[in-house]
Amino acid sequence: MRPSIDSLCRSLGYSFSDITLIEQALTHRSAGGLNNERFEFLGDAILGFVIADVLFQHFGHASEGQLSRLRSSLVKRDTLAIIARQHQVGDYLHLGSGELRSGGQSRDSILSDAVEAIIAAVYLDGGYGSSRKVILDLFEERLEKIDLTAQQKDPKTRLQEFLQARKQDLPSYEVVSISGDPHDQNFKIRCQIAETGHETLGEGSSRRRAEQDAAQQMLQGLKDA
């Protein structure tokens, strides 16, 4: 039995005039009927704009690359899933029986999509100002802790530069396996340096994320060696 939607609204700091909007935002496609897929699309765009606007205003001297990396770190699936758990969004989701049996209420992809859908629901109910306030409240702690100087190039780039500086062969990346449903896949990628025989295995929800994970492990291993 799901808890009262009112509890979630209090946690979000927003009261809906049209409660059907938040109900739809919390309905996964597996439950059939009106679901949150279209809301996810809209919420993702609103979230990206609000975060980009805040970063642009607060970091007047940051480069485009730095701003892009900051935004990506804030709106990525992992971060949204963490925010969803902080507000116990999984407890309020309406899922089909299959997703319920497989633990869909705790899956990162479903939780992050729900956060985007909730943002869209707030926008549709109360307008841009309301959605912006909810976003800033959700991300307040993370925005306060942003350290522009800590933003680095991605792991694959840093690994490549590390090896080039030492005149070593560049790594190769190979897909080891792809598992899961088409909408919720898990990739395993092997990163290998033929010259030394070093290799690592990375995982992620996309090929790019798995490659970055493998590169990060490789870079850390070479630095520790």
Last-in-domain residue among 99, 123, 148: 148
**CB 155 within 8 Å of CB 215:** yes
Model confidence at 157, pLDDT cuts 50, 70, 90, reads confident
Res. 1 pLDDT band, cuts 50 70 90: low
Note the pLDDT of residue 225.
Answer: 67
Q: Are residues 87 and 138 in the same domain?
A: yes
Report the pLDDT averaged over residues 162-170.
Answer: 90
Q: Active-site residue numbers?
A: 44, 116
CB-based contacts of 105, cutoff 8 Å, min separation 6: 90, 91, 93, 95, 99, 111
Question: Residue 116, annotated ligand binder?
Answer: yes
Query: What is the model's pLDDT at position 149?
Result: 63
> Does residue 175 share a domain with residue 138?
no
Q: What is the mean pLDDT of the chain?
A: 91
Block residue for tokens 């919720």: 184
> Does 170 share its domain with 187?
yes
Domain span holding position 135? 5-148
pTM over 0.85: no
40 is in an annotated binding site: yes
At 55 the pLDDT is 95
**Final residue belonging to a domain, choices 123, 148, 173:** 148
184 annotated ligand binder: no
